[in-house]
Amino acid sequence: MVRPSLRTKSIGTKVTEAEYATFERAAQEGGKTLSEWCREIMLTSVDWAASKDQPHLAGDAQAVMAEVVALRTILLNVLFKQANGESITAEQMQKLIERADADKVKKATERLRRATPTGS
């Protein structure tokens, strides 16, 4: 039987009364003790920071950004054609969608990386 790791180290920080009340309220809303809530938040923050170094960012942010990037590509191309008095055929539209979908994840990942505070 594998024995769970014991928590023997502690981390402390000073907060204002208002910050403490905010943290305590968030912990209560999540059904956790303040200590459990703080541990979870810190571990989640570390996991998120580590995911920024991965080739594929985890979570919903990347999926949403990928769709926004694809929609932007499609919209700008269609608007450009219309501004020049051109119409777009169903076949051209399908090719445009396919092209936008093909590189949306790569572009989204690049934009999310540029948007991080560290710029990594």
pLDDT digits (tens, 9 = 90+) for 25-46: 888 988 889 998 898 888 877 7
For residues 58 and 51, the answer to whether their CB atoms sit within 8 Å is yes
pLDDT in tens, 61-94: 778 888 898 999 999 999 999 999 999 999 999 9
pTM above the 0.85 mark? no
Quickly state the pLDDT bin for 48 (edges 50, 70, 90).
low
pLDDT at residue 54, as a whole number:
54
